[in-house]
A and B are shown apart, each in its own frame.
Chain A
């Protein structure tokens, strides 16, 4: 499919702009989402025209497209994040900034200027805030229309306009001008939209001028690397491509600047793999979005075997994996000697977020087994595996046609004190653990310092009994003058609020 991927410069906050562009172009990105900021093309610093012209040349040399983002945190006010917005008393400061952004976008040949409403200040009542927003957007859209650059207004969780319904209301209030479009963040859709992500894409298609992409979990507005959240991307990307959208699909990971080049590399290889195979996966994929209680989540954390296989193509193993897969297909028993050799042959580098080459290769080997042999071999390889092999088996279980029949491997892993094994046991296959065992394992994670992000389906599955257990841990910690880890404390607070404990 023909999607064009970009990357947000707010995810390169520790890079000079020129360096960030070079890195992204070298990695193979098609464009950048440029957040105007004090260190990235400051629109208030001297020499703006010269800098914009230099940047336009540089973008052309690198073959990068660009959209302009206006979400800098402290560009306008060094003390208050994002302030002032179009809702504040000092809203003219924001409007002036947005108009500058439109001019810069026009000079750079940008595909869109993106903006949001901001959070409503407590002192501004909702009706006044709405009137100010409509007025500001109308003036912005008029300028954008003259400059020939569309506005991409972005619903942002927690802000005054936070979802597609809010955008539609605003769009109507403005009189549906052509130059007022939509910036759709696919992670936000997973976070709070009532419809599955792919359905949001289809519904939003007529107005899309800019797309942002990252992984996310239901109800948690945290931009996550691909594979760490709940979105199954192949069907989403297929839906996006099928709408005929030709703008940039920009990775939005503003909190990953500390590792920007690696994150950008992994993100692009993930997106390419997800885009490359999405036809088949889309046919198989169950619908996304909110599930009925007890229904399995389509696991974004587990790429399909063909996605893993595609990502492994980048590994130089001298053809070992191809040969190994051929041999396993011909004689499943040979897997017992090929499985332990996978790390030596394919290496241990990360090829997709959360997936190293050895784990991916081992998962693909297991997925090659005939269905009727899969459980027996998985058990055998786990039983005789070193810690890395055991972990690879655990992570591959949800990919195998074995139903719940290997759940005893999870029990074994959870009995260990090896954080790598306990974490791997709480992936999507843990749906087969009964509630008591699952809660015990989650609380064990808290004790062992394992981040709860490793627990699949946590928000959906956490119940009042788990809350009571966590509260017990919290009491003991407090008695000892210690605190729960932040993630456990946040989960407990969330459960208390939700379950009314």
Chain B
């Protein structure tokens, strides 16, 4: 009897946890292990491994006796790291968090139908195929008089056309990614605002609180955890994101982030790709940075408390 029960528990565990575990293993753990192995090989052009080596990492760092650890990052790698930091920080700070929050606050303050309409519009970039979205951006910032920005600048303001590809490439990728990222923040924060009990708003108004006080004292405290979640999740997502950068800017040096560097060295068309082991080494460093950043943010935003069991069960 007891044995049957134990077996059933095992079977149940297998049924319930199996799919998720398999998913985790195949799609998340296995690629990291493959990346780890490939990074220490000489794989290039074909998917064959001839020898195990640390050569790939020598392409990223060079010995320097004066440096703190006895080595320094090579120019292109250092540059990619800096560009990644700028890209992630500004996209996150300006759009994914701040603008997402602003959208959530304003659209929930509006009547339902109007707020819903605005939210739907902001979801459009995310819903449209990435190539279409990128093509629209390419048209918007086209450096000739055909580009939307230049049409507005020359016809409305009478100023000279600008070439954003050349003059502000990082701003272009921050804004293009930000418009998409903001919608996720907006959705999560909107649902968080909606889950605040209505009576708190009524009580606040009865006490004479204005819209700003309500936002500050009732809404914002309820958004702490969703904001932490968005910050952690989106910083990791942005760090490895290259899709829109590649589609809009191509393999331009001016927007060569770490993820783009790994992509151009491995799979990107027509830019000397096919160096799979080198790309894997860059990706491995990106994974390590991702883990460190995630742990730091986890600590800074006190995610442990969010994920902890609630002390009181509210019914």
Do A and B come from the same complex? Answer: no
